[in-house]
Amino acid sequence: MTTHDERPRERVDDLLAHMGEDLERGMVPAEVFNDKSVYRRELRQIFGRCWVYIGHVSEIPNNGDYHVRRIGEDPFIFVRDEEGEIRVMLNSCRHRGSTVCRTDAGNTSHFRCPYHAWTYKNDGTLVGVPARPSGYRQLDLGQWSMISAAQVDTFRGLVFATLDPDAPALEDYLGKFRWYLDMQFALTEGGMEVIGEPHRWYIDADWKSGGENFTGDSSHTQMTHRSLLETGIASEAGAGKTGKAHGLHVNDCDGHAISMRVMPPGVESCFNYPPEMQELFTEGGLSEAQLDLVRRGVVHDGTVFPNLSFIHFSAKDDVEKEETAFLSIRTWQPRGPGRMEVWNWTLAPAEASQEFKEKAYRAGMASFSPSGTFEQDDAIVWTGVARTGGTLTAELQDLRFNYQMGMPGMGSAEPIEDWPGPGVAWPSNSGESGLRTFHRKWFAHMTALPRASRPSSAAAGSTSASTSAGEGAS
């Protein structure tokens, strides 16, 4: 077994050796956005340990409904079994590893491998193996179920899974950040509902560029999304123009962070939800402090570490029409060094009319999707970050990027002392505290002791038949 200390030294070790100090000074090594050794370490240390978003319960309303998803680069099946239980299982046959589900989505009672026809119930139990009487007389089917993620749990309709059996409970992993997630996902008694299938698209950019941006990169809006201000497609308040709405950044919330733009106290905005829907928002169980941030809300965007982000916003698909509220959630899936696949879903309160859900979908698609007028330009700027991260110059000059905006001595704002919620709240858009939270969490996971592989589990399927048959001699 290879231990942490016995690994040959790689570039990622050099970067991590000085990154703690870099973060203290508000800097992040450029190479973490595009380096093979960083990427390989991330898959193990981040995606092998953290709770990763899989999908929403409303995507699999019926028993047998399934979608294929990923944890890191690993393919999983997200399915509701015949008992109604949600399963997250490696999309791989226990016999010889071939892919058992080769579609994006559907409904099925069984998964049958196209290689040798090993057949599993949709809860992963092996129920069919051809030629059992002549070839597998002592095969214990119970020991050859499909491989599940180590833990699967749901919060407010959001299904997460982790490969780490020793990871803390999901509730503890989300921690105090649940206070902010409630404002997005528990507005009404019925919670939020996914509309339609996800958008999927590749960007030649690192997954962390999406994750860090959504924690509260407020200062990019004025430049990256300037076309929307110039044309009036985005409102001045929504785009963060000074004086039109208050900027709030909340960082260090158990490793997660959120940015909010809200109207001044007493001024309602409520993401432009229609009045009849706002009336339902007292039914979700939110506290008065949470409801106040919702009622004044222009935009809330945040990231659940590592790669689930959300934006609760309103947008117009037609410059001459009104804005419509929507909630977008997305995962930034790693697909190689400096490359990601984005998955994007648009949501609306479950109680909303079909007409409103359609409007919300179109507003979300028009702004945050591959064709979205906001998102198109984000993708372009993030490709440049990965390009720089992959340069030889970055390595030779130990290039660091600047994350100092709003740091002590830099920013004029002070944390809000009587902030009603968890985390550290700043009354300003002029800061990158959420991004620093993201990278500190990343650093903590990257430098944590790796999980030992478990030789016992790998051998669990072997039986006495394999040794007594004496095939090894032939």
Binding site for another protein (CB under 8 A): 102-106, 195-204, 224, 226-228, 230-231, 233, 316-321, 341, 358, 361-362, 365-366, 369-371, 373, 375-377, 379-381, 383
CB of 386 to another protein, least distance (A): 11
From the CB of 375, what's the least distance to another protein, in Å? 7
Q: Identify which of residues 256 and 316 has a Cβ nearer to another protein in the complex.
A: 316
Return the SS3 of 392. helix
Angle, alpha carbons 329-330-331 (nearest 5°):
140
Q: Compare residues 182 and 378 and give the one whose CB is closer to another protein.
A: 378
Minimum Å distance from CB 299 to another protein? 19
Helix (H, G, I), strand (E, B) or coil at 145: coil
Instruction: Specify the residue, 76 or 442, whose C-beta has the smaller distance to another protein.
Output: 76
Sign of CA dihedral 181, 187, 193, 199: negative
DSSP letter string, 113-136: -TTT--EEETTS-EEE-TTHHHH-
Tokens of 236: 């001045």
Least distance (Å) between residue 104 CB and another protein: 4
Least distance between another protein and beta carbon 315 (Å): 11
CB 406 within 8 A of CB 413: yes
* Chain centroid to CA 196: 18
Cβ atoms 150, 162 nearer than 8 A:
yes
Report d(CA 379, CA 386) in Å as an integer: 11
Quick check: 88 and 149 in contact, CB under 8 A? yes
| Of residues 369 and 429, the one with the C-beta less far from another protein | 369
Distances (CA, A) of 146 to 77, 80, 286, 471: 10, 14, 39, 26
Round to whole Å and give the CA distance between 258 and 182. Answer: 12
What is the token pair recorded at 289?
């402090």
Buried b (16+ CB within 10 A) or exposed e, 112-151: ebeeeebbbbbbbebeebeeeeeeeeeeeeeebbbeebeb
Q: How far is the CB of 329 from another protein (least distance, A)?
A: 14
Rounded to a whole number of angstroms, the minimum distance from the CB of residue 114 to another protein is: 12
380 vs 469, which CB is nearer to another protein?
A: 380
Least distance to another protein from the beta carbon of 103, Å?
5
* Rounded-to-integer distance, Cα 318 and Cα 27, Å: 40
Q: Which is nearer to another protein, 229 or 304 (CB)?
A: 229
Strand-pair partners of 332: 342
Q: Residue 451 Cβ, how far from another protein at the closest point, in Å? A: 31
Pairing verdict, β 105-107 and 110-112? unpaired
Instruction: Provide the pairing of β-strand 246-253 with 424-426.
Output: antiparallel
d(CA 415, CA 178): 20
- In angstroms, what is the minimal distance from the CB of 200 to another protein? 4
DSSP calls for 49-104: TS-EEEEEGGG--STTEEEEEEETTEEEEEEE-TTS-EEEEESS-TTT---S--SS
Work out how close the CB of 213 gets to another protein at its nearest, in angstroms, rounded to a whole number.
15
Nearer to another protein, 53 or 382 (CB): 382
Query: What's the closest the beta carbon of residue 250 comes to another protein, in angstroms?
Result: 29
Cβ atoms of 152 and 159 closer than 8 Å? yes
Between CA 48 and CA 41 the distance in angstroms is 10
Length of the chain: 474
Q: How far apart are CA 25 and CA 221, in angstroms?
A: 24
Q: Which of 400, 372, 271 is nearest to 325 (CA)?
A: 271
